[in-house]
Amino acid sequence: MKVVALVCLFFLGCSHGHKNTVSVKKKAQRSLASLQYETIDSWIQKDQLVLVAKELPLKASLSLDRIPWADTNWPTARSGKNWRWSAPRGEQVLDEYNYNHPSLVDLKQMSPEALSQLSPLEKFSIYISDYDYQLANAHQSDYHPGQDPFWAGVCEEWSMAALHYKEPQAVVLENGEGIIIPFGSSDVKALLAEYVGTGEAVAKTGSNRIEADDFFEFAEVAKSMVKYFGEVCTTDIPKTCSDVDARTFHLLLTNFIGLKNRGFIIDMWTNNRLEPRNYFQPAFAYEAKVIQSSPTSIEYITVVKTAADISDLDADFTDKVTMPQNSPRNVHLSDSNNVTATKTFHYKLHLNSRGEITDGQWIGKDQPDLLMFRAPPGDFKGYMEKLGEIYRPVF
């Protein structure tokens, strides 16, 4: 089985970093132009959304079994999903000049500790007895350690996986040649992110082989599984571009988290026209406070809570990141859903005579570019079918 990785570059931001910034911007703009953005009105009837402001909960959280888990965004500056995150610091990063994977002979001589320090993609390759490491090598060109910005990674893939899969257990498995492979919880998280970002789209085409010429075919399949509200507005995109509006934001937040017990992905970076990037995180709770109200309008300050990207907790993307007491800074924990971030949004909504929300406006500079909904993934298929043997939820 030959696997060549598909790079679905939808956004400049928490997406794959590259050396050729100009070509990446052009590719991203072409991809953005082909996205099908949704409007809230197209979902109101289909999803039976409640429009009356007083009928929408001011505070809500997903049920415990649906709260997403925290993870890193598998930054490209650290080799992405080829990051040997548990190895001693000097041995963590694999770059294009130092990209050596252990052979079967090497593996049989390695200690359990050394095996545990391999990267998620290396461990998956070993588990399926692919000692050519085709999946790991296919990602090699995506990573430029020491050159990519710290925020470049796959936070949209992590967010999708965290919303749809319960937190994975650490497992120890044996492959066909008797190699014992310890998968940490974070190893499995990286593989789940790989599957929702690329693997399922490939499986839907019935293919186990991905070539560079097939990029657009697989990208279109991947995009068809995601619905977008708002647009990614940067200095390179015309002023006609529109961020998600306040009415859409409030209706989706209160209807889906508040009434339907369903999370979604929010862009927590709110200054794209000044510095283009995106910082997607899985939202699971909110609290809206009424500042003032009248028969025709309500002004809210709403705090949204997400699972946190723990790649760099000093990054100024959120108002606050909350860590469990006594947790290590670089968290890879089975209880990592305790690591959360918050962002505050201020807006005013307008009402009709029935009390339905008809329009809205943002107050202040903080407003999300984009909200994303991803269709629930199905069974593991295609070149990542054996992920179903590795993934075991904590509860």
Could you report the per-residue pLDDT of 163-190, keeping only the tens digit for each? Answer: 999 989 899 999 999 999 999 998 999 9
Please give the helix or strand (H or E) that residue 112 lies within, else none: helix 112-116
pTM strictly above 0.95: no
From 92-96, 173-177, 189-193, 321-325, the region with the lowest mean pLDDT = 321-325
pLDDT at 268: 73
At residue 370 the predicted structure's pLDDT band, cuts being 50, 70 and 90, is: confident
Residue 346 or residue 144, greater confidence = 346
71 DSSP β-pair partners: 309
Residue 209 or residue 72, greater confidence = 72
Per cent of the chain over pLDDT 70 is 65
From 66-70, 225-229, 286-290, 317-321, the region with the lowest mean pLDDT = 317-321
Phi (first) and psi of residue 80, to 5 degrees: 60, -135
Q: Are strands 357-362 and 37-38 parallel, antiparallel or unpaired?
A: unpaired
pLDDT at 229: 83
Mean pLDDT throughout 79-86? 83
Tokens of 18: 């590259």
Burial grade of 22 (CB within 10 A; 0-12, 13-18, 19 or more)? exposed
Closest by CA position to 190, among listed 394, 384, 11, 395: 384
Residue 87 pLDDT greater than 50, yes or no: yes
Closest by CA position to 384, among listed 130, 84, 14: 130
* Mean pLDDT of all residues belonging to the chain: 76
pLDDT at 239: 53
Strand ranges in the chain using DSSP code E only, listed in sequence order: 37-38, 59-61, 171-174, 180-183, 226-230, 264-267, 280-294, 297-307, 320-322, 340-351, 357-362, 370-374
pLDDT at 145: 61
Contact 286, 60 (CB under 8 A): yes
Closest by CA position to 369, among listed 16, 53, 18, 35: 35
Residue 240 or residue 74, greater confidence = 74
Contact 307, 70 (CB under 8 A): yes
Contact 163, 31 (CB under 8 A): no
pLDDT at 332: 41
Q: Output the CA torsion sign for 25, 263, 253, 304.
A: negative
28-67 burial, b for 16+ CB within 10 Å, e for fewer?
Answer: beebbeebeebebeebeeeeebbbebeebeeebbbeeeeb
Contact 6, 218 (CB under 8 A): yes
User: CB neighbours (10 Å) of residue 220?
Assistant: 13
Per cent of the chain over pLDDT 90 is 37
CA distances from 27 to 10, 148, 294, 354, 380 (A): 9, 17, 47, 46, 29
CA 176 to chain centre: 32
Residue 279 pLDDT greater than 70, yes or no: yes
pLDDT at 135: 81
Mean pLDDT throughout 252-266? 94
Residue 191 or residue 47, greater confidence = 191
Cβ neighbours for 321, distance < 8 A, ≥ 6 positions apart: 308, 310, 313, 339, 340, 341
User: CB neighbours (10 Å) of residue 146?
Assistant: 8
Cβ neighbours for 207, distance < 8 A, ≥ 6 positions apart: 214, 382
Mean pLDDT throughout 42-48? 74
From 232-241, 247-256, 297-306, 377-386, the region with the lowest mean pLDDT = 232-241
Please give the helix or strand (H or E) that residue 53 lies within, else none: none
Highest mean pLDDT range out of 27-31, 90-94, 195-199? Answer: 195-199
Mean pLDDT throughout 65-82? 83
pLDDT at 52: 96
At residue 295 the predicted structure's pLDDT band, cuts being 50, 70 and 90, is: very high
Tell me the CA end-to-end span of the chain in Å, nearest whole number: 33
Residue 77 pLDDT greater than 80, yes or no: no
